[in-house]
Structure formats: structure tokens, C-alpha cells
A and B are shown apart, each in its own frame.
Chain A
Amino acid sequence: MADLSTNFVGITSPNPFWLASAPPTDKAYNVVRAFKAGWGGVVWKTLGEDGPPIVNVNGPRYGAVWGADRRLLGLNNIELITDRPLEVNLREIKQVKRDWPDRAMVVSLMVPCDEDSWRDILKRVEETEADGVELNFGCPHGMSERGMGSAVGQVPEYIEMVARWCKKHSRMPVIVKLTPNITDIRYPARAARAGGADAVSLINTISSITSVNLDSFSPEPMIDGKGTHGGYCGPAVKPIALNMVAEIARDPETYGLPISGIGGVTTWRDAAEFLALGAGNVQVCTAAMTYGFKVVQEMISGLSQYLDEKGMSLDELRGRAVPNVTDWQYLNLNHVTKARIDQDLCIKCGRCYAACEDTSHQAISMSPERVFEVIDAECVACNLCVNVCPVDECITMETLAPGMVDARTGRVVSPAHADWTTHPNNPMASAAE
């Protein structure tokens, strides 16, 4: 069994699976249940400044997108930060950390954008002996209209400023949680680093409307005939999150900045992908909200088995895919593949044929007996057939070895690398040296 223990910016936990700041971490009852189930740590649901408690809507807080068999693919929420008194939360944080010293206890914070507010809250959190703080610069609804959450996260200068205050007024590690509701994630990440933050965590939720009620003509979730945008999360956002994590991991200005990966982590495999793209750990919410806390046990056993099978440590997995994330212009244009259909696995549904014939390159033939075969002379290796085939591994991509002839172009496959930067059609091409 591989060692999954993790040290993230000095915060140790028995495994890299933390619960993200969200409803599952709003109170001791839930957090204790999570720790009993095996979660390595939590980021406590965001605390605000002392005063009258936050008010939430009293109608539905969540909307959803489902796949086949009503599998939850995306979840959207309009809940605000904790609506429990600050004092109660701090007391519970302190008690839980005392009872569970080996688990990571990070506290998410969101207070108005002035130095005093941050200094005051940090002082109170330090008294709980929590391991660190996460600055919520991400929430896209409710708080952002009040100048907090993503209203801060969308302005790199504010991020830098607040991060600097926090480092100045606290000895705790500071993680800056980034909003994806911007055009280039590298700018806020650079700002966090410039402000002295110890790490970034991403992504927070994506501004979204999950559906429209076609009877009352309101966005869902609907509150008395009206709806508002919420924050989208769950499996559907994972590709967006992976890209943003990779962008930060390979940006020279933020290279090496610790990253806590968030966004649609549902299985050990998702977690391993975030780790391979440079995340030091992952945070999970929707999977727990969908299936309960027990899902962490599959994540632990799966990641452990994977590492054992690869003969790899967690540290060796971390960032391993980062060097292979590149720009389109550097992709090898001499790499030629062709789709291959395994006739023994084929169930003759014809979806590959419909997809290729109607929407792609007419590169799959169909016989009267429903035998589907790839026409190499037409196949551009787009992968659409692989993606629409309902049977795993039935259609695969075969790489043509150097020396073989590509039936589509009639050219012999070259062993040499050649990309757009050297391509004759590129007016900016430079001669290969």
C-alpha cells in the first residue's frame, strides 16, 4: 500500500484528499463524520466577519445537470458563506482540530477588502490552532456583489494586496483560492505569488445557469419565479479545472507555486490527473455531496493501487505530466495515427459510422451485414469514433511506425519531429537547425 501522506505548504495530512470549503464542511458534525470516513483534511466553510449572520435563500440552493440514468454531472449553487455565528464556528474548529490532530484543518475566509478586517479575523482563527487559511476570492454569487469573493479574485492587484496583508498579520500558511471566471488564470496566480501567498487552490465555481424552467420561464434553481446565476461544479467542470491547474504549473512566473487542485474530482483517477498536472493535493466537494463521505475510501484504495502498480511515490507522480503540456504549435505533425475497430468487441450500433459519415471525414464503411471498417485513405485520426463508441477499447488509435505509408496522404511516415514552427505553410516558420 503506497504512502499517501502529504505535506502541503507545511500542512500534513494522511492522504491528499481534502474536503473543499462548502456545505459538507460547515460544522463539526459533518467534519467529524468526514474524518471518520477517512478524509485527510478539510477546508472549513468560509467564515465572514463578526456580526449579524449571513442570510441564505429559503428556497432551493442547487441546480443540476444530469447524464444518462440521472447521473449528476454538474451542480450549481447559490448558497452563501457560512450562515452560522462566527463564534460557534471558531469554537468547533478548535475542538475538531484538537480531537483530530493528524488531519489538515484549513479555514476559508472572506471579509471586506480592508486590512483591519483581515487582521482581526486572522487573529481569531490563529487562536483555534488551525493549520492554515484559504482566502475565498472565488465565490461568483451573492458575496461578489458586496465587493468580496470573485469581485476580489477578478482583480489581480486586490489579490496581491490581500495576500500581503494576510502574510503580514499571520504566521499561518496562506492559500489563495482562485476564481475561474476570468480570461487568463495566470494573472491572479502571479498576483498571489507576488503577494507572498504560500499556495493557490483552484478552481472555485463557474458562473452558470444550469437550466431554465420551461413552464415558469425562470432560471433554475427558481426562487419565487426568479433565478440567478450560481456557481457550477462537479464532474462537468473537471476539464476546465485541469487546464487552469496546468497553465499555472507550467507558467515560468508561477512555476513551483504549490497548487491545491479542485474541480470535479470524483474518483481516484481524477485526483491522480490533478496531481500529475502539478497539484500537491486535491479538494473534493460534489462527489461527497452526491455519494456521501464514503467515496474517499475508493479514492484512497485506487490511488494507492495505482502508485503501487507504477512503482511510483506520490512525490514522483506530482507534476509528472507538466512537461508534456505544450502549445499546439509544438505538436509533432509527423505523428500519424489511424482508427482501428476491434470486430470482436464491436456491437454494431453504427454510432461511429453516423458520426464519421454525417459530421466528419467519411472514413468508416458500413457493409450490409453491419460490419464497420476504417478507410485509411480518408481517416484523419480525429478520434470522434473513439469518443462516441459505447464500448470501451473497441475503437483505438494505432500509431503508424516510421517508414509506413499514410494511405490518406501517400507519404512515408518520417521518424523526425516536425511541427508548425518549421512547417512550410507557416509564414513565421524558422528553418529547422
Chain B
Amino acid sequence: MSSTPPRPAPAGITAPGIVAGRLPAEALADNFTDVLPPLDRHEAIVAADRCYFCHDAPCVTACPTEIDIPLFIRQIATGTPEAAARTIFDQNILGGMCARVCPTEALCEGACVREMAEGKPVEIGRLQRFATDRLMAEGVHPYDRAAPTGRRVAVVGAGPAGLACAHRLAMKGHEVTLYDARPRPGGLNEYGIAAYKTPGDFAAEEVDWLLSIGGITLETGRALGGDLSLEGLREDFDAVFLGIGLGGVNALNAEGEDREGVQDAVAFIAELRQSADLSTLPVGRHVVVIGGGMTAVDAAVQSRLLGAEHVTIVYRRGRERMSASDHEIEHAQTAGVKIITDAMPVAVHGNGAVAEVEFAYTEDGPEGLRPRPETFRLHADQVFKAIGQRLEGAPGGLDLAGGKIAVTGAGRTSLPGIWAGGDCAAGGDDLTVTAVAQGRDAAEDIHTSLMTG
């Protein structure tokens, strides 16, 4: 660029409507820096010293990818973080991202015996990041490919499940074509996680590093239902893995939800992640987020960080039913997000654009959740829907279960030669780490099937 255009003065926190530049650039930069900075070497050694090297450790049992946590921590403690990273990647090739986004307090750290002993677990997530960052910074891929098998596998969806599956298949010597509908690979790692959890371009760097094993051809902008069909893939490849995620967003079923200013939270999060300049990203002064999961928290916290003055999460059931972890909820509250529970939206009011959302208090009874007569209204110029995603555009012919692709064993669908994993498959926890485990295990099953079938 030959000249920099003059920046508009910040709109300020009290400016009405949905506007960009509520905060000065420096404040935005501060707000979106690493929420949990990496451990330095000294901190890592001190943190690693706390691990008791438990027998049949509860943290390992709690990890969906079953990383040998005591071993990798001992490897950090003895000055070999590269070996620690290898221990992690053996089980979870996206161990770098999982170190950042896993709800560790509900998984490994929640199970840590020092949580029981002192209410202060070993910082497993941050230690995992220390090790994986170290190895990835060396710019060398730690795995070799087996001799070529001559088999070709299509992996649809370059999110956590698809990436884990593709990497494991490539390791086994298969040729993989990895398709994704979006312009960039990574799935929710790239588009769906709060920016302050993965500052910089970590998701993209991690994908590049993962693909550097070789044997994986990435084709973006290609979707099932677009120029790809399941029949075509079955003809062209020896096996197919579907890791297509959940493309649809649930509706509020509230009157007026099509008013201007009512948006999908996932789209907002994606737009924020892809934004090169956060000062150009508009946000409301009064933001209402409807939902109770991680997406709701991420949208609400980031609205605050962009400069929204009042941000409220409204969830239809009690706090104990919110799928966002306690840690996430506390983080939201610390960021200044108000949380209202036991209320559901009944109408979105406004003259064209949204101005208020009307909620009814709820009660849980034998017939399920019901609105009570008592209602209240929240001022809103922007509303984010975060009430869950659903499978959209699944190819016909696959059995479904609970609105997702039905699977048995390691991701086998009802059609021979087709596997599925990650959020689109029935039975998971919709966590990054679960998707990685499913993609990895499906790859092992595909490999066994291809080599013995």
C-alpha cells in the first residue's frame, strides 16, 4: 500500500446500533491477545514438577484421545519437550489446538489427583501447549509415511475429524484427497473458535504443519451437494470419510426472528476470526445472545471485547444444564457478560431492525420445558442465535440417528465403504478432541478394512 487511509475515530461504546470501531485499535489488540499466555521454560518445569506420575492415571482416562499425560509431563520435566510432543501427537495430531481449546477442567485437569488433593490440578493443558509449540516451532514434521499402499481415500471436511483422519491415513501409506467447502481448511478450528483462544494464525499454521506429512491433496471450495456427490466419491475412491460438521443453525421459533440484527452466532464468530482488522467489524451496543453452550459464550465474550456495552446471555434452562463449562461461564462473567437462565425468547420486537427481545420465564415439568406467563424484555440492537447446530446437506442413503449420521464401531455408517466422525456423526460430545479421536479411530478402521478386505 502506498498510503494508509485515515482511520475513523472510534465510535465509542455508547454509539447506538450496530457499528464498527467502538474501541481504539490498541484496546482491541489487548482484548484479543492470548487469553492464557504460553508457559515459559521455567514455568513449565515448575508446573511439570507437580505431576505425581499416577498409575493408570485418571487424566488419561478422562482424555478422549487418551494421551499418555504422565509420560509427556515427565518428558518435559526431564528436559525433552520434543519427546513430550511426540507422545501427545501419537494420540492426537491436533494436540496443539486441543491444548488451547479443550475444556480441560472438565477432562484431564478435572480428573487430576491434585485437583482432589489441593483443588489445584497440574496445568496439563498449558504443559501440552508448551511441548507441542516447541516441536512445531522446529518446523519439522515428526512422522514418516509408510510405504504406499496404492489405496485412495476421500476425506470430506477438513475440520478436526477430517484432519485427524487424513493424517493417520497418510501415515499408513494411503493417498488422501481432503475436501472442504470453505475457502480455508480447519473447520471449526479456523472458523468456529473464539479468536482470543487461538491468536495469530495458529489454526492455519497447524493445518500446514499437519499436511506436511505428504500424501494429502487438499481441495477447498468443494462441497457435498455442490460438485461432489457421495456416489461419485464411492466410485473414485476406495473409502470415504465424512467429517462434514453441522452446517445448519437451529431456529428460535420466536415471532420476528427474521428482523434485521438477528444473526447466527457461528457466522459472527467466523467473520470475526477471518477479519483482518477488528476495528472494521461492527457490533451492537446492546447485544443479546440466546443459548447456553460454548458458541453462546464465545459470541458474547467477543461482543464485549469488541466494545459492546451491554451483553446478555439468555438460556432457557438452569445454569447447571448449560453445556458451556463453569470455567467458560466464569470467563464470560469476568468479561462483563450478564447471564440470565430459565428464560426463552417468545418474540423479537422492533420497527424493521430489532429493538427488543421478549422472553418468557420457563418451568421444567413432566411434559418438558414450558413458558410461564411472566415475561420480560431486553433492549437489543443485535441478537445472536446460539441454540445449536444441526446436520445440513447430508447425502441421502445414510441412516440417521437423532438428526446425525448413524455410526457403529469406529465410525462405520450404514453404507459400506463410508465412515463418518466429528460433529456430524451421532454420539459424540461435539468437542474438538472428540472429533480428533473419532477421525483417528476411523482411519485405523479404514486402514484395517482396506488392507484385509
Contact = CB atoms under 8 A, between A and B. Distances in A.
A37 to B, nearest CB: 29
Interface string A17-29: 0000000000000
Nearest to B56: A350
B452 to A, nearest CB: 33
Contacts of B9: none
**Which applies to chain B's interface (DSSP): helix, strand, loop or mixed?**
helix
B55 A69 contact: no
Given A347-B113, A347-B117, A391-B117, A69 B54 contact: no
A350 B55 contact: yes
B116 interface: yes
Nearest to A69: B49
B428 to A, nearest CB: 24
Contacts of A390: 52, 117
A412 B370 CA distance: 69
A274 interface: no
B54 A350 contact: yes
A226 interface: no
A354 B52 CA distance: 12
A70 interface: yes
A370 interface: yes
Contacts of B256: none
Interface string B116-137: 1100000000000000000000
A308 to B, nearest CB: 31
A349 B45 contact: no
Contacts of B54: 348-351
Contacts of A118: none
Contact of A370 (B53, B58, B114): B58
B46 A349 contact: no
B53 A351 contact: yes
Interface residues of A, number: 14
A44 interface: no
B52 A351 contact: yes
A68 interface: yes
Given A68-B49, A69-B49, A70-B45, A351 B114 contact: no
B113 A349 contact: yes
A346 to B, nearest CB: 9
Contacts of B55: 349-351, 353-354, 366
Contacts of A366: 55-56
B207 to A, nearest CB: 36
A370 B112 CA distance: 13
Contacts of A348: 54, 58, 113, 116
Interface string B278-291: 00000000000000
Nearest to B48: A68
A171 B114 CA distance: 60
Contacts of B57: 350
B248 to A, nearest CB: 40
Contacts of B113: 347-349
Interface string A48-84: 0000000000000000000011100000000000000
A106 to B, nearest CB: 39
A355 to B, nearest CB: 9
Nearest to B46: A69
Nearest to A355: B55
Nearest to B42: A70
Contacts of B52: 349, 351, 390
Contacts of A370: 56, 58
Contacts of B45: 70
Nearest to A70: B45
10 contacts: A347-B113, A348-B54, A348-B116, A349-B55, A350-B57, A366-B56, A370-B58, A390-B52, A390-B117, A391-B117
Given A347-B113, A350-B56, 11 more contacts: A69-B49, A348-B116, A349-B113, A350-B55, A350-B57, A351-B53, A351-B55, A366-B55, A370-B58, A390-B52, A390-B117
- Give me the 9 closest cross-chain CB pairs, A-B, nearest first: A350-B55, A354-B55, A347-B117, A349-B54, A347-B113, A68-B49, A349-B113, A347-B116, A349-B52
